[in-house]
């Protein structure tokens, strides 16, 4: 799945491999995800896709690969300073510090690198909006009666369930 082709809302956007494209397209999609409060999970993300790092709901896996470079005009192939600045300024401060600047050559950060720089690690067991673990299933407070107890008390398992559930 690519950054620009998300699943229906509210499913998380899972970016398997996105090689980038026109920054304006990625900027519009990033704002859509921001408004929707979407989670974006990055596996491999290059170029304009790196705008995802500006989202509060972005996460990476330790094995993720994110590739950064300066923006270039699609026709003249000349460096585009304004768009390069827009990309760079969208990154979290620790990521900007690690990159230093964007150049023609890729600068590569792994998911491990990004996690150490404060980007959230993807964990399906954690809801990203509240960062609280998903609730665990709890056992009933009263144990289900054993066979001996059931026979001695005259209850069968159906009576016990009806009593507990209130049917």
Residues 6+ apart with CB under 8 A from 149: 155
- Residue 127's pLDDT is 53
- Residue 29's pLDDT is 97
Using one digit for the tens of pLDDT, what is the confidence trace for 130-142?
554 444 444 444 4
Tokens matching residue 103: 């150049």
Say which residue, 57 or 130, is predicted with more confidence: 57
Tokens 């989670």 correspond to 39
pTM beyond 0.75: the answer is: no
Using one digit for the tens of pLDDT, what is the confidence trace for 113-159?
999 999 999 985 555 565 544 444 444 444 444 444 444 444 444 44
Q: Where in the chain is the domain with CATH 3.90.226.10?
A: 13-133
Output the CA–CA distances (angstroms, integers) from residue 116 to 111, 121, 156, in the order listed.
Answer: 9, 9, 56
Q: How confident is the model at residue 74 (pLDDT cuts 50, 70, 90)?
A: confident
Tell me: pLDDT of 165 over 80.
no
Domain 13-133 has CATH 1.10.3720.10: no
CA–CA dist 45, 18 (Å, integer): 5
Output the CA–CA distances (angstroms, integers) from residue 46 to 94, 161, 167, in the order listed.
Answer: 18, 55, 57
How far from chain centre, in Å, is Cα 118? 13
């Amino acid at each position: 799945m690519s950054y620009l082709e998300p699943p229906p809302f509210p499913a998380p956007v899972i970016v398997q491999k996105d090689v980038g494209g026109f920054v304006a397209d990625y900027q519009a999609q990033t704002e859509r995800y921001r408004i929707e409060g979407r989670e974006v999970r990055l596996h491999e993300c290059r170029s304009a896709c790196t705008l995802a790092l500006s989202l509060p709901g972005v996460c990476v896996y330790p094995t993720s690969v994110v590739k950064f470079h300066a923006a270039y005009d699609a026709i003249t192939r000349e460096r585009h300073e304004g768009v390069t600045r827009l990309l760079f300024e969208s990154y979290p401060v620790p990521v900007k510090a690690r990159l230093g600047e964007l150049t023609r050559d890729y600068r590569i950060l792994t998911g491990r690198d990004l996690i150490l720089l404060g980007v959230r690690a993807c964990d399906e067991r954690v809801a990203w909006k509240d960062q609280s673990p998903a609730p665990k299933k709890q056992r009933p407070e009263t144990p289900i009666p054993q066979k001996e107890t059931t026979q001695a008390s005259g209850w069968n398992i159906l009576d016990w369930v009806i009593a507990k559930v209130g049917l």
